């Protein structure tokens, strides 16, 4: 028995959603890696003594410890927000995928 056109469309849609979930997972992993690096930099900065250097382009310049920490904390906050947004989108996609999968399974059991 061949699935109906509607069921085939739902299966295609399900595959597309799965690809989108994978893309979100990769993006989230990238952001989590950056977040880990920033958190390590902040902890190193706490124990570091002046002078502090920051890489700008291809050179290192002397920087104020307070400014560098403030900048890193700002980046950490932005990454946390991005990760939370990706998780929300990922959850919505997974929910949609589960709905479509249930519909497809019902159609195929008929």
Structurally, the chain folds into a number of domains equal to 1
Of residues 48 and 110, the one with the higher pLDDT is: 48
Check which CATH number belongs to the domain holding 55 and give it. Answer: 1.10.287.370
| CA dist list (Å): 49 to 52, 56, 65 | 7, 20, 8
Global pTM reads: 0.80
CA atoms of 67 and 70, how far apart (whole Å): 5
CA atoms of 76 and 37, how far apart (whole Å): 10
Q: What is the pLDDT of residues 42-92, one digit of tens each?
A: 999 988 888 888 888 899 999 989 999 999 999 999 999 999 999 999 999
26, two tokens? 């990769």
User: Which domain does 14 fall in, by range?
Assistant: 5-109
CA atoms of 12 and 3, how far apart (whole Å): 12
| CA dist list (Å): 35 to 29, 31, 32 | 10, 6, 5
User: ∠ CA(40), CA(41), CA(42), 5° rounding?
Assistant: 90
The three-class DSSP label of residue 47 is helix
């Amino acid at each position: 028995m061949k699935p109906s056109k509607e069921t085939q469309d739902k299966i295609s849609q399900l595959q597309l959603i799965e690809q989108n979930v994978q893309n979100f997972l990769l993006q989230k992993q990238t952001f989590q890696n950056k977040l880990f690096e920033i958190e390590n930099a902040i902890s190193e900065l706490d124990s570091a003594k002046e002078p502090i250097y920051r890489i700008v382009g291809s050179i290192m310049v002397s920087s104020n410890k307070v400014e560098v920490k403030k900048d890193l904390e700002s980046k950490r906050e932005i990454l946390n927000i991005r990760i939370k947004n990706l998780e929300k989108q990922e959850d919505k996609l997974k929910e949609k995928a589960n709905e479509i999968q249930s519909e497809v399974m019902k159609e195929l059991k008929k």
